[in-house]
Amino acid sequence: MPLTLLIVDPDCSAYDALRPNIEAHFVIQMAENGSNAMALLEHAQPDILLIDGNLADQTAYAVCQSYKTNNPNGQILFIASTEKADYVAAYGAGADDFISKPFSNDELQQKLLLFQRSIEETQQLRSSVQAATVTAMQAISNSAELGKVISFFKRASLAPDEASLLKALVHTTAKFNVQVAAQIHQQDTLLTLNSQGRSSPLEEHMLQTLAQDPQRIYEMGKRLVINFPRIILQVKDMPVNQPDLCGRLRDHIAILVEAAETRLDGILNETQIRAQQQLTLNAITLIQSSIQKLENEYRHQASSSMLLFSELQDQFEHKMVYLGLTDSQEGALLDMIAHSLAAATQIYDQGLSLDDEFSHVIATLIYLTQRSPQAVPAVPPEPEEPSDDIMLF
């Protein structure tokens, strides 16, 4: 885009020969005196001011000062005499370069083109600085946003149940300065929460209805809906007037919901494993109790049997006196009874050994169940702090 050049000189015709050579680079405005120049400067700010130091109605220095006040980045080419005092005064008024009359058109053209190049380089540098600043601010903002996402990963991994997971999801999403409502719906569980607290029945029903739509992500004006199989989240006031921020938030929130869906799988699996392990522990306890009961009954029966054998032996010894048996016959019968008693005692001892094996098996099962990583009971989530985001720089 061509730059604007304002020429302030009582003798405007002096630039007729120069004009065709510079019109491709500048939009030229002319003023024959300081008053006209001041009037033009009230409505426009030319990029370059070419001004003759000898103005009749007011000093050129006043025009230069007014121009520099309103346009500090503008360039002034001052037409002055060769007097040193004029140069000093012009510098004080803001002049950037000088040329003396009578001047060569080639010299004046070169000075103007140098001004043009300087202004364009300054504008490019300013644009680069602005672009770099915007990029840096976006990077800082994106880092802070990613810090919130990573912080959610940590909190979600510690969530012991669906309610804690839903609370962490809503709390983290609300940190993006948006109003949010989310719902977990699976089997017999239906939990709904929004950034203001518990949701209304109407909002709960609306999320249930939206969850039936197979589309994963969809937007309706300022509303954004992220819909996964068991978790749905709605943002009510996306910053649609800031497309870059809106796009980043859409990506971040989609990642949050997907992470929550994955963690919900883990929670359900852990709950199922804990229930199965509890059933196993209950079964082991029942078996242990049954074995203990059988052991007590076995001990009682063995003791009764031994007592019966002992009483039988005493009675037999007492009755043998009346049977008329020889000593060798009595000895043989007593040996037979003693042998049977020893065999019964051996059977009893073998039963005790089998009971020890059962007890060892039960103890091993209990140990393995308690040592299983999935058997670790659920722990409550860490308390929420005012700011637990992870900053990425």
pLDDT for the residue 392: 47
Region 54-82 average pLDDT: 84
Helix (H, G, I), strand (E, B) or coil at 197: strand
Amino acid at the residue 323: L
Round to whole Å and give the CA distance between 40 and 45: 8
Round to whole Å and give the CA distance between 349 and 101: 133
Whether residue 243 has pLDDT greater than 80: yes
Q: Which residue has the tokens 């903002």?
A: 141
pLDDT for the residue 379: 47
Region 92-100 average pLDDT: 87
pLDDT band at 391 (very low <50, low <70, confident <90, very high): very low
Q: Would you call 6 exposed, middle or buried from its count of C-beta atoms within 10 A (0-12, 13-18, 19+)?
A: buried
> In the chain, what percentage of residues exceed pLDDT 90?
25
Region 78-105 average pLDDT: 83
Round to whole Å and give the CA distance between 52 and 192: 77
Region 295-319 average pLDDT: 76
Q: Which residue has the tokens 């490019």?
A: 124
Domain ranges (residues) in the chain: 3-128, 138-271, 273-375
Digit-coded pLDDT (tens) for 332-372? 877 887 787 777 777 766 666 666 776 777 677 667 666 65
Average pLDDT across the chain, whole number: 82
Q: What is the DSSP-derived secondary structure letter of residue 223?
A: E
pLDDT for the residue 146: 83
Q: CATH class for domain 138-271?
A: alpha beta
Whether residue 157 has pLDDT greater than 70: yes
Instruction: Give me the phi and psi of 116, to 5 degrees please.
Output: -60, -45
Region 112-138 average pLDDT: 82
Region 265-286 average pLDDT: 85
Whether residue 232 has pLDDT greater than 90: yes
pLDDT band at 393 (very low <50, low <70, confident <90, very high): very low
Contact (CB, 8 A) for 194 and 181: yes
Weakest-pLDDT range from 143-152, 198-207, 230-239, 325-334: 325-334
pLDDT band at 16 (very low <50, low <70, confident <90, very high): confident
Rounded CA Rg of the chain: 49
205 is written with which tokens?
Answer: 């029903």
- Fold for 3-128, please state it: Rossmann fold (3.40.50)
> In the chain, what percentage of residues exceed pLDDT 70?
86
Whether residue 45 has pLDDT greater than 50: yes
* pTM of the predicted model over 0.75: no
pLDDT for the residue 375: 44
Region 33-46 average pLDDT: 89
End-to-end CA distance of the chain: 39
